[in-house]
């Protein structure tokens, strides 16, 4: 007859005193371990809609749609929970500072669905469009974040300082070009890279 090893004996005695290691789920709700890394979730207020997490996600579980047909142009960030492998790359690659990340692995683990098409979560961020051609530049929050990071250096870029001034209520929403000067007066507007180039270079 083989005798149990000391460690196994200790585990058996502990289990007798403390009860079984397994939980009684589904009879009782399961509480995961504090260090459990479950489904990541966006923070609506912190997220900048910058798309860095979408670029980095190895399983294509993050996507976005830019919706320009409503009164306010919006970027919808989508997390497909059924494709997520809980790897944490999105949290690591989020451009916000450590400890202030806008997508964080939580402790959600019970994620089964009867209808797979409902396995997603979304948040929405307001978009900033180019004031000349209407192309998407970025989300407003992303531009403000860049302006704040750059500090006084952002005053070299009208798109950044105008976004910041409008956020503070210190600039009009639409500064119209008033001079027929080949677009030069459009320079003090919020512009995409292509329109910025056109207002800064002379073309016959
Ligand atoms: S945890 Fe991994 S798979 Fe899931 S959304 Fe983040 S990067 Fe993608
Ligand atoms: S990287 Fe961070 S801030 Fe950027 S979209 Fe993803 S969660 Fe939001």
Digit-by-digit pLDDT tens for the chain (204 residues) are 566 688 888 888 888 888 877 888 888 888 888 889 999 999 999 999 999 999 999 999 999 999 999 999 999 999 999 999 999 999 999 999 999 999 999 988 888 888 989 999 999 999 999 988 899 999 999 999 999 999 989 888 888 988 888 888 877 665 544 444 555 667 778 889 888 887 777 665
Both tokens of residue 42?
């966006």
82 CB near ligand 1 (under 6 Å): no
Which 3 state secondary structure label does DSSP give 105? strand
**Ligand 2 atom closest to Cα of residue 48:** 3
What is the rounded distance in angstroms from the CA atom of residue 30 to the CA atom of residue 142? 38
Pocket of ligand 1 contains residue 87 by CB under 6 Å: yes
Q: Which ligand is nearest to the CA of 58?
A: 1
Domain spans in the chain, listed from the N-terminal domain onward:
34-127, 130-204
Determine if ligand 2 sits within 6 Å of the CB of residue 48. Answer: yes
Q: For residue 56, which atom of ligand 1 is closest to its CA?
A: 7
What contacts 24+ positions apart, CB below 8 Å, involve 18-27? none
Residue 173: the pLDDT is: 62
Residue 83 Cα to ligand 1 midpoint, Å, equals 8
For residue 146, which ligand has an atom nearest its CA? 2
Structure tokens of 197? 């180039």
Q: Is the CB of 85 under 6 A from ligand 1?
A: yes
Reported as type and span, the H/E element at residue 163 is helix 158-167
Which CATH architecture fits 34-127?
A: 2-Layer Sandwich (3.30)
Ligand nearest the Cα atom of residue 87: 1
pLDDT of 6? 87
List C-alpha distances in Å: 167 to 43, 50, 74, 85, 144. Answer: 20, 18, 17, 37, 8
């Amino acid at each position: 007859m083989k005798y149990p090893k000391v460690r196994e004996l200790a585990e058996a005695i502990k289990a007798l005193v403390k009860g079984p290691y397994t939980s009684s789920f589904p009879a009782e709700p399961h509480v995961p371990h504090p260090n459990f890394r479950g489904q990541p979730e966006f923070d609506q207020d912190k997220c900048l809609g910058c798309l860095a997490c979408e670029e980095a996600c190895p399983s294509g579980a993050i996507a976005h749609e830019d919706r320009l047909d409503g009164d306010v142009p919006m970027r919808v960030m989508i997390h497909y929970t059924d494709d997520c492998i809980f790897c944490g790359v999105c949290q690591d690659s989020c451009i916000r500072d450590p400890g202030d990340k806008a997508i964080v692995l939580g402790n959600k683990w019970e994620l089964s669905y009867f209808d797979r098409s409902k396995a997603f979560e979304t948040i929405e961020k307001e978009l900033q469009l180019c004031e000349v051609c209407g192309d998407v530049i970025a989300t407003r929050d992303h531009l403000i974040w860049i302006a704040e990071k750059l500090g006084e250096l952002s005053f070299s870029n009208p798109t950044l300082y105008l976004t910041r001034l409008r956020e503070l209520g210190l600039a009009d929403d639409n500064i119209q070009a008033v001079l027929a000067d080949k677009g030069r007066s459009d320079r003090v507007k919020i512009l995409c890279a292509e329109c910025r180039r056109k207002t800064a270079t002379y073309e016959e």
